[in-house]
Structure 1
Amino acid sequence: MEEEPDANHRRRQICNSCDRPNPICLCHVIPNDPIPTNTEIIIVHHPHESRHKLNTTPLLTKSLRNVTRIPPRRLRRHHISSAGETSVSPPIRTIYLFPSSPSSPAVTISEFKSLNQRDISNPPPLRLIVFDATWKHASEMVKASEEVLREAGAVRVCLDTGIDASVSGGTIYDSELVLRKEPFGGCVTTAEAVARCLGAIEPDGEEIERKLISVLKEMVRLQSKFLKPMNPRPKLLKKRLQNQSANT
């Protein structure tokens, strides 16, 4: 009787550095030294999203130095209180990334930069808050965090390319930066959103954006080898209409 393979051999081998399965390890593209930024980045990470195998927040926490991931479903006051802030320090300007809506308009990140960071060589302290979740959960998280955001004087910003709710989002087979089906056209992963923001507001933003996007592209390239194209399910006709069609 053939001996059953040891459980350790059946289990996927995980890289100790990037915490990803060995076939899709990203250590060769993740910066050896985390990238420093003037911007403090806080990622409010929904618990469900943290368990998703295609989540991109780990790319940011391993690639950037000044980033913090917090796991609750809402932002609380102590999450944005910085130990380095003092009464004599310049106040940290806070922005949070979420698309504009009729009730809560947002300014584009480029508009925010032109209005608030005229001296790009010596920009004032800035804090960027990002909500990492599905569209539905992210909306709920932002709503639950509104009081804290308002008290912090946070400005709502969005990417220069807005979303289009009338258009379905792409899949991994439509773009080299998309990992899974998005609800609307223009939606991006958390990693890409942060990369685009830093590209606009950091003094060396173009280089930071380039490095982060290259990591994301490699993640998509490796992951695509293990995913099958998903064809849309045909809309099912009601039984009555099916019978009518059969009798024609």
Structure 2
Amino acid sequence: MPQASRRQRCAACFRPLSHCLCHLIPRLWPDTQLLVIQHPDETSHALNTARLLVSGLVNAHLLITESLDEHPQWVARLSDASWRNELLFPGADAVELVPANDGRPRRLVLLDGTWRKARKLLYLNPVLQALPQVRLVDGLVSRYRIRKVPVPGALATIEAGAEALSVLHPGFAREQLLAPFDALIEGQIQAMGEQRYLHNYRSNS
């Protein structure tokens, strides 16, 4: 018997059509521009929160690459001193992210991938290493209830972006940006069943 065809997916959010999240995705436009650099291995991940983050922001870009040498226009933009370019990454020298207004437009770079892949993205790209590193406050708790976080305080990419924009722009519509993420998690829990969810993700909480 022929194999069943793969489920059709929404061209915008890439979710199965029966679970499309587009009606929940806002179109927000904060002053800060986000650049999300996604490791290529993450593109097929079922819970691709980087795509949800960028889809909800007019002033955001998703770049799928391992090497920025393939994208010289972005190397130039990230080297442009007329912009306040910063990397959201909890390195040893990272300082807490705070609002600032030095007259320059602000661009925040996020790395999307596992911790190992995010570190690889950083070490493969000198332009990223040259950026000032900023971090979120300690003690944040992820809503990503179907993932066992690798380190305390680890957030999904969409959560990190939403938290950062909330810091930089008081009153930012954080909950609107996170609405499709919340729905995605709830849908995954329903699909696996409450008992399996409790056994796999709540037993050690």
TM over 0.5, yes or no? Answer: yes
1:161 aligned to 2:161?
no
Is the 8 Å Cα contact of residues 44 and 74 (structure 1) preserved in structure 2?
Answer: no
Name 2:185's counterpart in structure 1: 220
Name 2:106's counterpart in structure 1: 126
Name 2:95's counterpart in structure 1: 107
Deviation string 1:146-182 (CA, Å, 9 cap, x unpaired) is x21355xx2101111268xxxxxx9xxxx64444222
Alignment of 1:4-15 (within 5 A): 7=4, 10-15=5-10
Which is higher, the Rg of structure 1 or of structure 2?
A: 1
Provide structure 1 residue ranges, at least 5 long, that are not aligned to the other structure.
164-169, 233-248
- For residue 132 of structure 1, report the CA deviation from its aligned partner: 0.4
Identity %: 31
Task: Give the whole-Å Cα distance in 1 for the aligned partners of 2:82 and 2:51.
Answer: 29
Task: Give the whole-Å Cα distance in 2 for the aligned partners of 1:161 and 1:117.
Answer: 24
Deviation string 1:82-140 (CA, Å, 9 cap, x unpaired) is 4xx7xxxx810011011132xxx111113xx2xx338xxxx630011111010111111
Is the 8 Å Cα contact of residues 178 and 188 (structure 1) preserved in structure 2?
Answer: no
Provide structure 2 residue ranges, at least 5 long, that are not aligned to the other structure.
none
Superposition misfits of 4+ residues, deviation over 6 angstroms: none
Task: Give the whole-Å Cα distance in 2 for the aligned partners of 1:73 and 1:6.
Answer: 34
The one of 39, 60, 67 equivalent to 1:74 is 67
- Give the TM-score of the pair, scaled to structure 1: 0.68
Q: Between Structure 1 and Structure 2, how many residues are aligned? A: 193
Higher relative contact order (CA 8 A, sep 6+): 2
1:199 aligned to 2:135?
no
For 1:185, what is the secondary structure of its paired residue?
A: coil
- For residue 28 of structure 1, report the CA deviation from its aligned partner: 2.3
Is the 8 Å Cα contact of residues 13 and 21 (structure 1) preserved in structure 2?
Answer: yes
TM-align CA RMSD: 2.7
Name 1:62's counterpart in structure 2: 55
Is the 8 Å Cα contact of residues 99 and 162 (structure 1) preserved in structure 2?
Answer: no
